[in-house]
Amino acid sequence: MTDNMTELTCVACGQECPHELVMVGRLLHSTRCSACGHVVRHEQRDLMSSYLRDLEHRVLTKPQRMMLRAMREPRSFLLELPLALARQPAKLLDEIRTLLRRD
């Protein structure tokens, strides 16, 4: 899960102000207005279906993306690989927790 900020017009307060974007994988999970705190979320069932398709695509294309990176930047690829592999389970669990969150 990643959090990003962008300027949007809030549907609740009408202000154009920073909004927090919560991403799950490559999908937008929710937005939160920094002025009034209004949150807009995707329907969980729609998001889960889209997330599973996106996850499948990410898993299937990972070997090719890793190979391309290894060829472009072999030294940094080898140095960063152990940490990248160690991070993946926690990253995946964080994405799933965010998807299942109902707050």
pLDDT tens, per residue, the chain with 103 residues: 566 999 999 999 999 999 999 999 889 999 999 999 999 998 888 888 899 999 999 999 999 999 999 999 999 999 999 999 999 999 999 999 988 886 6
Give the span between the Cα atoms of 16 and 60, in whole angstroms.
39
pTM: 0.69
Is residue 18 within 8 A of residue 5, CB to CB? The reply is yes
Is residue 12 within 8 A of residue 33, CB to CB? The reply is yes
How many structural domains compose the chain? 1
Q: Which domain holds residue 75?
A: 2-100
Give the span between the Cα atoms of 73 and 70, in whole angstroms.
5
